[in-house]
């Protein structure tokens, strides 16, 4: 595992080898609640990233040869170890990412323990060869099967907001399928990623099979440009687009899990108390720094004012503070850059006439990165707060009149990650869910889809390409190979050379026999394909 060790680099100058000590760049791990520096780490250099990938490649054959059942056994050991250490891991996550300890436990550790459970129970069945019966008569002599093979080395580039569950769930799927993995975590949460790698190693996964290269965007770019066979990227849309362009130039397969502007639709038959509690939790969980969080809320006009009143009352009761304190609800934001984005969007909305019902300010008395949970009313789609990803503790609420209008507003976005619909009528909720352009739509809940290990996770439009989690997430980790074995190896195939009139008639017969709507033509086709009828004789 590279921790960005500083070491002399060899430089070739006019045929002479000179040793130079090049200053290594650092990433600084900081507790966002207090500003305390937790550790400084050297960034892995480009060379070190490439070396890590080379080690991963060298280790991959043996890892793949181990077989799915032995890899599942190692996943069980990892799962057990993580369960045993859950509190220690959650504390580290809370210190480095700022989130409340209980959120670290539920949305990070529990999600990973359960993702391991899903793979332990299902990976063997999902990865084994799949026989494929052939419908085409001419191909019935072949036994076909789908074979799922590991890609080789999977690169994982991950963000800071779920620094444990995102790389861990992706790594688990990649590993069980027989790939080796190199993770480049966010520069803000390196310690959590190093802890993840350490857990894998202590569980018995060889060091070169899971490696972490610490660093910023440059280390991510080095991983992208290395000899990896596939990249699973989670992060912002601008970085995702840059990665897609580079990957396209060398046809590197990528999964892109990008940003969201997730809408919540509250229909007039919704339970206001339940929906407002859902909105407040969905908007402020992890201080709103959740790709699936409620980023915009639309409420049927009849419920609008009472819904706002309920949201404001519940928001005012939230206790903001250091995530390590178990008696708080909302932690700090990750850093000043993120705080500034939120602040500027709220100020833009304020300048455009929105009502700030609660919050709308920093809370410097609590620490460097705190922003008050904020509820906004009378927002419009002309405001940045309703168009750009906010990624902070803000709940902007807008009224609508009809279901059609609500659906149109929900779809009026470049993003399409998740959405939620709130109604007492399940079939109405299901019907609206089908009309919303999103990777996932929840009816009467928010955010929790990330905790459903069986559910595919991913977006449409600018929210990304491909899926992680569940069956489809596992499928992303394998190359599909088709193997067809002919059962009659002694027989030349009739469609081989040479062509001629008789053969053409036989093939025309075969086509008619299988696909003609007329029974007579099907019979004639059968006789012609068998060579009983030679020409266009009438039956
Ligand atoms: P980011 O795009 O700034 O960084 C993500 C990762 O990419 C980091 O590890 C970063 O170091 C690396 N990186 C930056 N520049 C790079 C480059 N040129 N080449 C390669 N790697 C590079 O995103 P962030 O601020 O860390 O995360 C927040 C974003 O992630 C939000 O937009 C959020 O919605 C999104 N997100 C999406 C999901 C999802 O599942 N769809 C989940 C979590 C977060």
pLDDT in tens, 519-535: 999 999 999 988 887 76
> Is pLDDT at 10 greater than 80 in this prediction?
no
Residue 367: how many CB atoms within 10 A of its CB? 19
Residue from 25, 162, 236 whose mutation best tests the ligand 1 pocket (most atoms within 8 A of CB):
236
For ligand 1, say whether the CB of 220 is within 6 Å of any of its atoms: yes
> Is pLDDT at 34 greater than 70 in this prediction?
yes
Q: What is the pLDDT of residue 6?
A: 38
Q: What is the pLDDT of residue 531?
A: 83
Backbone angles phi, psi at 494, to 5 degrees: -65, -25
Residue nearest to atom 35 of ligand 1 (CA): 235
Q: Work out the average pLDDT over 218-245.
A: 98
Taking alpha carbons only, the member of 120, 224, 214 closest to residue 175 is 120
Ligand 1: atom nearest CA of 246 is 19
Is the peptide bond between 318 and the residue preceding it cis, with omega within 30 degrees of 0?
A: no
68 near 124, Cβ under 8 Å? yes
Ligand 1: atom nearest CA of 162 is 43
Helix 426-435 with 403-411: angle, nearest 10 deg = 40
Kind and range of the H or E run holding 69 = helix 68-84
Residue from 158, 189, 239, 339 whose mutation best tests the ligand 1 pocket (most atoms within 8 A of CB):
239
For ligand 1, say whether the CB of 259 is within 6 Å of any of its atoms: yes
Q: Work out the average pLDDT over 134-163.
A: 97
Residue 538 pLDDT level (bands cut at 50, 70, 90): low
- Give the sheet arrangement for strand 440-443, strand by strand: 355-358, 374-377, 394-400, 296-300, 263-266, 418-422, 440-443
Spacing of C-alpha 419 from chain mean position = 16
How far apart (Å, rounded) are the C-alpha atoms in residues 117 and 119?
A: 6
93 near 164, Cβ under 8 Å? yes
pTM: 0.94
For ligand 1, say whether the CB of 217 is within 6 Å of any of its atoms: yes
Q: What is the pLDDT of residue 187?
A: 98
Q: Work out the average pLDDT over 150-160.
A: 98
Residue nearest to atom 34 of ligand 1 (CA): 259
DSSP 218-259: HHHHHHHTSS-SEEEEES-HHHHHHHHHHHHHTT--EEEE--
Q: Work out the average pLDDT over 190-216.
A: 98
Conformational region of residue 248, where left means phi above 0, alpha means psi within -120 to 50, and beta covers everything else: alpha
Q: What is the pLDDT of residue 537?
A: 58
Q: What is the pLDDT of residue 373?
A: 98
For ligand 1, say whether the CB of 286 is within 6 Å of any of its atoms: no
| 198 CB-contact burial (10 Å; exposed 0-12 / middle 13-18 / buried 19+) | middle
Rounded to the nearest angstrom, the distance between the alpha carbon of 233 and the centre of ligand 1 is 7
Token output for 350: 């304020």
Residues identified as active-site: 257, 291
Span 396-438, pLDDT tens digits:
999 999 999 999 999 999 999 999 999 999 999 999 999 999 9
> Is pLDDT at 7 greater than 60 in this prediction?
no
For ligand 1, say whether the CB of 160 is within 6 Å of any of its atoms: yes
Residue nearest to atom 8 of ligand 1 (CA): 186
Residue nearest to atom 43 of ligand 1 (CA): 291
């Amino acid at each position: 595992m590279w921790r960005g060790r500083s070491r002399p680099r060899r430089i070739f100058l006019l045929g002479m080898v000179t040793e130079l000590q090049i200053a290594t760049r650092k990433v600084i791990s900081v507790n966002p609640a207090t500003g305390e520096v937790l550790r400084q780490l050297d960034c892995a250099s480009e060379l070190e990233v490439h070396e890590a990938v080379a080690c991963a490649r060298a280790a991959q054959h043996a890892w793949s040869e181990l077989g799915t059942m032995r890899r599942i056994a190692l996943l069980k050991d990892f799962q057990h170890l993580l369960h045993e250490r859950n509190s220690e891991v959650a504390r580290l996550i809370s210190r480095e990412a700022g989130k409340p300890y209980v959120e670290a436990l539920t949305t990070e550790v529990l999600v990973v323990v359960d993702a391991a459970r899903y793979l332990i129970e299902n990976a063997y069945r999902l990865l084994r060869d799949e026989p494929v019966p052939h419908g085409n008569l001419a191909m019935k002599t072949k036994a076909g099967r789908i074979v799922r093979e590991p890609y080789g080395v999977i690169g994982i580039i991950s963000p800071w907001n779920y620094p444990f569950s995102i790389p861990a769930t992706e790594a688990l799927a990649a590993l069980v399928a027989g790939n080796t993995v190199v993770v480049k975590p966010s520069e803000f949460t390196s310690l959590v990623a190093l802890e993840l790698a350490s857990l894998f190693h202590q569980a018995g996964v060889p060091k070169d099979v899971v490696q972490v290269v610490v660093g910023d965007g440059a280390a991510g770019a080095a991983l992208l440009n290395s000899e990896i066979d596939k990249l699973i990227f989670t992060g912002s849309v601008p970085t995702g687009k840059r990665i897609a362009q580079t990957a396209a130039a060398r046809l590197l397969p990528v999964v892109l899990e990008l940003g969201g502007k997730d809408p919540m639709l509250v229909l007039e038959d919704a339970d206001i108390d339940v929906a407002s509690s859902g909105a407040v939790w969905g908007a402020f969980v992890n201080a709103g720094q959740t790709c699936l969080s409620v980023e915009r809320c639309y409420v049927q006009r009849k419920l609008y004012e009472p819904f706002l009143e309920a949201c404001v009352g519940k928001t005012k009761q939230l206790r903001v503070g250091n995530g390590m304190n178990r008696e708080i609800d909302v932690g700090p934001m990750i850093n000043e850059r993120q705080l500034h984005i939120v602040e500027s969007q709220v100020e833009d909305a304020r300048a455009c006439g929105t009502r700030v019902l609660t919050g709308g300010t920093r809370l410097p008395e609590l620490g460097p990165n705190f922003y008050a949970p904020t509820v906004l009313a009378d927002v419009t789609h002309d405001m940045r707060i309703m168009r750009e990803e906010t990624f902070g503790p803000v709940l902007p609420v807008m009224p609508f009149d009809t279901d059609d209008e609500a659906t149109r507003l929900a779809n009026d976005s470049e993003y399409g990650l998740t959405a939620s619909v709130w109604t007492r009528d399940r079939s109405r909720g299901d019907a609206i869910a089908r009309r919303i352009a999103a990777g996932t739509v929840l009816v009467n809940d928010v955010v929790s889809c990330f905790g459903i290990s069986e559910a595919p996770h991913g977006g449409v439009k600018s929210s990304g390409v491909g899926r992680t989690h569940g069956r489809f997430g596992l499928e992303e980790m394998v190359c599909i190979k088709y193997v067809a074995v002919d059962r009659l190896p002694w027989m030349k195939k009739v469609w081989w050379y040479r062509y001629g009139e008789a053969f053409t008639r036989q093939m025309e017969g075969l086509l008619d026999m299988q696909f003609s709507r007329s029974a007579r033509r099907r019979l004639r086709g059968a006789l012609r394909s068998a060579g009983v009828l030679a020409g266009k004789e009438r039956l």
